[in-house]
A and B are shown apart, each in its own frame.
Chain A
Amino acid sequence: MGQFIVSGPGAEAFLNRVLTNNITNLQPGQGQYTLLLNGLGGVIDDLIAYRTSEREFYLVVNASRIDADWSHLETQLNKDDEVMMANASDFTAGLAIQGPKAREVAAAVFGSAASFPEHNTILVTMTSDGPMWLCGTGYTGEEGFEFFMPMETAETWFRKIVDAVKAAGGTPCGLGARDTLRLEMGYPLNGNDLSETRTPLQAGLGYFVDLDKGEFTGREALVAQKAAGLPDKLAAFRMTGAAPPPRPHYPVAFAGEIIGEVCSGTQSPSLGTGIGMAYVPLSAATIGSTLEIEIRGRRFPAEVVKKPFYRKPSL
């Protein structure tokens, strides 16, 4: 991930002018999922913006988009904005602890007296191993937390965390596991499901766009698109028979015609079937409509389903 610190008397107004969600809703210590758009309403990045104090914000962006985000933010900044921006990405590391035993791990690592980072919160704290940005967020659909720290302290933290995770019966894992978890939740991934040529409305992220908060980059395009009607929409589909796992870029057909391609696709470990997402015309996007995924020249049936694909049964 990348980390930007945006501060100053004008930070709130500036971020509200470049991000889609309404940042004025955040109290110090709170965070929100939000999007950075270009002038045409296309998605440059999706990110979490946390308010660390009245005049300071911590942005966690996708690592692959650090340069694109940073240069876009610089072009949006005016001289009289009274905003300072710092890019901490090169010297910050991050770890995410996700899963039903995240509370147990947090208590083991931070002490049982420490409070668990609740959903969408941030706590900037000083520890004997240096400063830490402790966040009640993640991209798995599980309870959990993530934290960011100076790179030099990351190994110490990693070892502590892995010991605690193993003691709780967990295991270290990487982006492959994160990817199946986020897709089972129907969370989009930038580069697969989000791009500079499609808007958050097409991606089904309207909930994170506040068109009523005032002007922001891309707003006009979104308002126009809403009035004209969406050309297509990110639909979730599930393979209905025995089929290979759908993978990115496989052609998608509706009523016999190729209408698009798979954006994200995988075998869902929880469901035991292939799942994926694709941009399809609205006529094909209704729940229950039949799509076909073309895999090595053969078409396999799939059904448009509601997101999330999978929700863990509550205990």
Chain B
Amino acid sequence: MSNVPENLRYRDSHEWIDPTQSPSPVGITDHAQAELTDVVFVDPPKVGTQVTAGQQVCVIESVKAASDIYAPVSGEIVAINEALTGDPGLLNRDPYAGGWIFKIQSSNLAEFEALMDAAAYSKHIA
């Protein structure tokens, strides 16, 4: 069983976002990293980019495939996880903490409510 933390919100395309932090870190779920297998490269977004919910913002590459990552909510990209440049495997080893990909400053808190909670996401991947 993959790990689905209670405090996060989820997109159906397997990104998580932490609504309890501002700006909010975004990453991919434990389920997603297991499906992708070894992540070998992260092509991060540019800090300062304005994104809307559902917009493709960056790409992560595993041996198997290149996968698009979508913004769970609208806002500004205010930080990227530099550690992933030298160690993309963090996404596999620690998807919910050390493996965050970028931080987004949300401009519309209501968008968090549109995302799945842990129970709904667990059902989604069951």
Contact = CB atoms under 8 A, between A and B. Distances in A.
B59 A242 contact: no
A243 interface: yes
Interface range, B side:
10 to 19
B68 to A, nearest CB: 10
B44 to A, nearest CB: 11
Contacts of A269: 63
B43 A296 contact: yes
Contacts, number: 25
Interface string B51-62: 000000001010
Contact of A242 (B38, B41, B64, B66): B41
Chain A, interface size category, equals 10 to 19
B85 A242 contact: yes
A245 B41 CA distance: 8
A267 B39 CA distance: 10
Interface string A161-177: 00000000000000010
Nearest to A300: B41
Contacts of A266: 63
B63 A244 contact: no
Interface of A: 176, 180, 242-245, 247, 266-267, 269, 274, 296
Given A176-B64, A245-B63, 20 more contacts: A180-B63, A242-B86, A243-B41, A244-B40, A244-B41, A244-B43, A244-B61, A244-B66, A245-B40, A245-B41, A245-B61, A247-B66, A266-B63, A267-B38, A267-B40, A267-B63, A269-B63, A274-B40, A296-B43, A296-B59
